[in-house]
Each structure stands twice: as C-alpha cells, then as structure tokens.
C-alpha cells in the first residue's frame, strides 16, 4: 500500500452519495477525523439506502424519507454537493471535476459511485423495460398501475423476485419470470434452494418460462410490450421489468489513469487502494483483490458497508478492520432469505433442516467437508448465531 | 400495572423470547450473567424480531442488519437503525417474569403499526 496522507485535518473527498459514501464519511468521523469531508452525488436527493426499492418501497409500505441514510437528529458533519456528477478524475492536483465545471480537491479521494442497472435493447416508443437501481426507477414502478396487469420480469435474481412479490401484493393479473436458470439461484446457492425459491413463487401463481435469455423489448400496436427470447419465443406483457444485473458506474473513469477490470470495476487491493496515491474505491463500483479471486461477493449491502469501514480506517491510519463473513438477505413474500459465509466456494450442499415445500430450509455449504457457509429461509436466529460465532472464530485465529 | 408475560424457566440464557400477548410485541432476554430484560421486540429499522438477535454485553444485535440495542437503555449503537427501542421494567417473582410496560410511544419501523 502506498503511504496515504493520514492527517486528521486533511480533506476527504467522497465521490458518490450512496451507502458506501455515507459509511466512509461516518467512519472517518468515528476515527476522529476533524478535517473537511465532502460528498459529491449526481442524484439531486439526500443520500439513501437502496434495498427497500425492490421491496417495501415498491408497494408503498415505506416512503423515500424512510430510506435516508443520514440521521436528521444526528447528522454527519459533511458538505454534500448534490445534483452534479463527477466527470473527470485528476491526480495532479488530486480531485475531481463535476459536470457543472467545479473542481473539488481532496487529499484523499474515495470513489464510491456504485453501479448502473443493465438494460435490454428496446425498440419502439414505450421506453423499454423498467429497471430498479435508483429511487426514480422505484418511483416509476411504484406509480405504474399493476392491478390487473400482465407483468414479465426478466432475471431470476433476488432483485427481480422481490419485485415479483410486491406485484402480487398489488394485484397483478399474471406474472411471468424469464430467467436463464430453471430454478432461480440454483448455480450459486444449490439445487434445493433454487427449488425452494421457485416453489415460493409458483405456489402463489407466478409462472416461470423455460430457461432462456431475453434479448430485446419491442412494442405492439395495442400498447403492450413484447419480450423477445433467444429461443425465438416472445412474451407479451403490459409491464416488463428488467433485473439482469448492474455494471460499475465508472464510465467517467474509462480514459483515465485508474485500472478498470473487464466489468468496468475499479481494481483495488483489499484496503480499497487503487494504486494511485490518495485514490481509493469501495462498494459496487470496485473490485477488491479478494473479490477478483472469487473469495468475496460483489454487489451486496454488507460488502459495501465493510469496505467503507476498511477504507476509512486505511485513510485515517487506524488499525486495519478485519472482514466479517460475507452476508446477504432477501425478502420475498413473508420469507426472509439470509445467506452467510463463502457460499460460492463450497463444493457440497447439505439440507440441515426444513423442506423445499415448507419455505423454511436451513442449508449448510461445505468445502471438502468443512462448513464454510449457511443459508436459511425464515431462520433469523440460526443465521445470526452462525455469523457471530464465525466472526469470533475468524478474529480468534487472526 | 405489571403483567405476567412468561416463566423464567421458559427463557434460555443468551436468547430472547418474543411475547405476542402484548401489542406491540416485546422481547424478554435472559443474559448469560443471569439478568432478565424486556424491550420492544420489533427493530426500529425494519420489521425484524429482536428476540432472534444476538445477545452479548447486555446488548442485542438485530438478526437482520448491524444495529445493536442496549438492554438497559434501549439506545442504538450504529446504523441502519436510528431510533432507540423502549425498555420495560422487569420483576422476577419466583418463576414468574412480570413486566411493567413503558408509557412512552413505541418507535416502530415504517410500515409497522400497533394492531
Ligand atoms: C433495488 C436494490 C435492492 C437491493 N437489495 C439488497 C438486499 O436486499 N440485500 C443486499 O445485501 N443488497 C441489496 N442491494 C445491494 C446494495 O444496495 C448495494 O450493494 C449498495 O447500495 C452498494 O453501495 P454503493 O455505495 O457502492 O452504491 P450506491 O448505493 O448505488 O451509491 C452510489 C451513488 O453514487 C452516485 N453516482 C454514480 N456515478 C456518479 C458520479 N459520476 N458522480 C457522483 N455520484 C455518482 C449514484 O447515483 C449513487 O447515488 C440492493 C440494491 C438495489 C439497487
Ligand atoms: S432490521 Fe434491525 S437493523 Fe435493520
């Protein structure tokens, strides 16, 4: 790691007003940083947390104010610059230029610009499919009439399936999921979990198409849309939601000095250091060494928060913060799915308890016989205990 | 007025028990040190049952995210939750756990209301 500027009076410039950005600032203050902290965000809104956008926000259970990251009764001491995104990184002097022409200088620059929803090519006037990444996307879908409508959701990931759950609440007439796997999440989480997730939805009348890719969206004369599939089939729907993943929001860095990986992610070491003195990256826009090696996941809430903590400690010259076991959750209907540990590296999956039909699976992931991960459906107590015990063990052996 | 909510023998050290006979539900904890505490069961961030959380150092960490609540004061230590939970007064009489509910308004998460 290159020696950064550790002074507690230095200027920290955070580029991206999302989850990681908020936590870098918060942690820097917790470490006693007294110098100026600025957070630049391209959205013209207070910084907010995203997970509810595919869940409680979509069916109106929670509102935008409920998603705010900063606590109004105890706000962070930072300067927010909202509404104009960074368009250029400068290393000499260190800082970024925003779209409105302003140059923001920093002794340390932390890039936390997140990711952008991937879209399907669309032909026609309807504007294509809905996506879910930011609050405008969430608002558009929340305001779209769903009752009595035919909905097609592209992508069998958690984001799409969470949205499906809210569409059923809102009285959708028909919901079809188009995914490249027969059982959603099967390759990543094992056959039993994929089957259990599919069962959750089928039980409630959701249909699953054959495992194919969708390649485009076109309009029809009656105002509905058509989702075109790679097997030559087409699905007609009134509303199409595309949840096929996200790509790092790093287009503005493409011609610069930072090293970007094939996905466009900013490549960093496991402290978030980019290789350019004073420049760091974390969250969904970055790929740290252990993520590139497949040891840690990308695009999860917990990962962004932990990376933010690690970067803040590194910038402040505080003792390194250890990683916890990776963790994610997803809410579908009344089922909370939680996974922890190094699930991707396992080579055996064992059902510990529960059943595919019961929506109450508890599954153990093992690597050569050793348990390295766990997943539960409505198993909150078991999953928390596993995470806490593992953290204690990881720390004890550190 | 104190309510009898459960038996001491129903509690497991280091774990919480959700009591649904009161609204909003409360969580009763027996710590490893042998003390008994009662707080509101619903996390103030989202609808998660704190009774299923991790109890350590007289705090309970929410089973869903990262916030911990002090069993003595109800204060929250870190995001994503912002507001404290209510603390209820506990009295153990023999095997009976009696609770006097706080008169404060509960800080329920958005989308959750008292039934
Ligand atoms: C709908 C949805 C639901 C999710 N649900 C879950 C879940 O249930 N469980 C889970 O584990 N994870 C979930 N996630 C993932 C989690 O929210 C992300 O991993 C997390 O938000 C990443 O944080 P971040 O700070 O890297 O990016 P973000 O939170 O996306 O913040 C990045 C910010 O930077 C801004 N920005 C982009 N470019 C620029 C620029 N050039 N200049 C200035 N600002 C810029 C963006 O507009 C954004 O505000 C979900 C994500 C989404 C979108
Ligand atoms: S639900 Fe408790 S911290 Fe999020």
Pocket of ligand 2 (CB under 6 A): B 43, 45-46, 48, 62, 64-65, 67, 80-81
- Atom 39 of ligand 1: nearest residue by CA position: A113
* Residue B81 falls inside a structural domain: yes
pLDDT digits (tens, 9 = 90+) for A177-225: 999 999 999 999 999 999 999 999 999 999 999 999 999 999 888 888 9
From the list A26, A74, A384, the residue facing B53 with the nearest CB is A384
Q: Give mean pLDDT, residues A279-299.
A: 96
> Does residue B48 form part of some domain?
yes
pLDDT confidence bin for A7, thresholds 50/70/90: confident
Contacts of A394 (CB under 8 A, 6+ apart): A322, A323, A324, A325
CATH topology of A12-116+247-316 equal to that of A119-244? yes
- Look at residue B69 and tell me if it is in a domain: yes
Q: Is residue A234 scored above 90 in pLDDT?
A: yes
Domain presence at residue B19: yes
Mutation target for A interface from B14, B29, B82: give the one with most A CBs within 10 A.
B82
Q: CATH number of the domain at A12-116+247-316, out of 3.40.50.800, 3.50.50.60, 3.40.50.720, 3.40.50.300? A: 3.50.50.60
Q: DSSP class of residue A68?
A: B
Q: What is the pLDDT of residue A1?
A: 42
CATH 1.20.1110.10 fits A119-244, yes or no: no
Question: What is the distance between the alpha carbons of residues A271 and A14, in angstroms, rounded to a whole number?
Answer: 16
Any domain includes B111: no
Rg (CA), chain B: 13
Q: Is the CB of A35 under 6 A from ligand 1?
A: no
Measured from the CB, is residue A161 less than 6 Å from ligand 1? Answer: no
Which of B16, B27, B46, B68 maximizes ligand 2 atoms within 8 Å of its Cβ, making it the mutation to test the pocket? B46
Q: What domain range includes position B50?
A: 3-100
CATH of the domain at B74: 2.102.10.10
> Is B105 inside a domain boundary?
no
Given a contact cutoff of 8 angstroms between Cβ atoms, the answer to whether B56 and B65 are in contact is: no
CB-based contact (8 Å) between A50 and chain B? no
pLDDT digits (tens, 9 = 90+) for A338-371: 999 999 999 999 999 999 999 999 999 999 999 9
**3-class SS of residue A149:** coil
Burial of residue B98 (CB within 10 Å: 0-12, 13-18, 19+) is middle
Atom of ligand 2 nearest to the CA of B44: 2
Candidates 3.30.390.30, 3.90.650.10, 3.40.630.30, 3.40.50.620; CATH matching A334-397 = 3.30.390.30
* Residue B9 is assigned to a structural domain of this protein: yes
**Which chain B residue has the Cα nearest residue A338?**
B64
Residues of A in contact with B15 (CB under 8 A): 381
CB-CB under 8 Å, B52 with A381: yes
User: Is B109 a member of any domain?
Assistant: no
Domain count, chain B: 1
In chain A, where the domains are located = 12-116+247-316, 119-244, 334-397
Residue B62: nearest ligand to its CA? 2
**What's the mean pLDDT in A365-384?**
97
- A and B: number of Cβ contacts within 8 A: 40
């Amino acid at each position: 790691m290159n020696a950064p500027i550790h002074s507690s009076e230095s200027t920290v410039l955070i580029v991206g007003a999302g989850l990681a950005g908020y936590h870098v600032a918060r942690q820097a203050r917790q470490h006693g940083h007294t110098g100026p902290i600025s957070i630049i965000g391209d959205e013209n809104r207070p910084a907010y947390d995203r997970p509810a956008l595919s869940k409680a926000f979509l069916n109106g259970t929670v509102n935008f104010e409920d998603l705010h990251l900063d606590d109004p009764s105890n706000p962070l001491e930072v300067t927010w610059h909202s509404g104009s995104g960074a368009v250029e990184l400068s290393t000499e002097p260190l800082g970024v230029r925003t779209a409105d022409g302003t140059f923001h200088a920093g002794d340390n620059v932390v890039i936390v610009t997140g990711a952008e929803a991937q879209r399907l090519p669309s032909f026609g006037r309807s504007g294509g499919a809905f996506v879910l990444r930011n609050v405008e996307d969430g608002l558009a879908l929340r305001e779209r009439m769903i009752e009595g409508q035919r909905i097609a959701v592209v992508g069998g990931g958690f984001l799409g399936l969470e949205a499906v759950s809210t569409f059923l609440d809102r009285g959708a007439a028909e919901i079809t999921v188009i995914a490249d796997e027969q059982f959603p999440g099967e390759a990543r989480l094992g056959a039993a979990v994929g089957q259990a997730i599919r069962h959750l939805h089928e039980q409630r009348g959701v249909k699953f198409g054959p495992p194919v890719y969708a390649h485009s969206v076109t309009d029809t004369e009656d105002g509905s849309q058509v989702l075109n599939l790679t097997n030559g089939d087409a699905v007609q729907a009134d509303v199409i939601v595309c949840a096929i993943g996200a790509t790092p929001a790093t287009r503005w860095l493409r011609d610069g000095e930072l090293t970007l990986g094939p996905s466009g992610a900013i490549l960093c070491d496991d402290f978030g250091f980019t290789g350019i003195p004073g420049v760091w990256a974390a969250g969904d826009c970055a790929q740290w060494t252990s993520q590139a090696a497949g040891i840690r996941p990308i695009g999860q809430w917990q990962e962004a928060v932990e990376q933010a903590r690690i970067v803040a400690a590194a910038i402040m010259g505080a003792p390194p913060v250890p990683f916890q076991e990776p963790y994610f959750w997803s809410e579908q209907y009344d089922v909370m799915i939680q996974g922890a540990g190094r699930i991707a590296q396992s080579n055996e999956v064992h059902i510990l308890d529960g059943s595919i039909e019961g929506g109450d699976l508890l599954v153990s992931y093992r690597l050569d016989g050793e348990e390295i991960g766990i997943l539960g459906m409505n198993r909150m107590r078991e999953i928390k205990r596993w995470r806490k015990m593992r953290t204690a063990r990881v720390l004890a052996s550190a | 007025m104190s309510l009898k909510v459960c038996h001491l023998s129903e509690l497991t050290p280091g774990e919480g028990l959700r009591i649904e006979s009161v609204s909003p539900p409360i969580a009763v904890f027996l710590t490893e040190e042998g003390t008994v505490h009662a707080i509101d069961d619903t996390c103030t961030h989202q609808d998660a049952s704190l009774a299923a959380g991790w109890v350590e150092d007289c705090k309970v960490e929410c089973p869903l995210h990262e916030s911990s609540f002090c069993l003595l004061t109800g204060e929250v230590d870190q995001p994503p939750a912002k507001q404290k939970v209510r603390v209820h007064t506990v009295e153990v009489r023999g095997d009976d756990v009696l609770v006097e509910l706080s008169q404060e308004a509960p800080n329920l998460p958005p989308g959750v209301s008292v039934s």
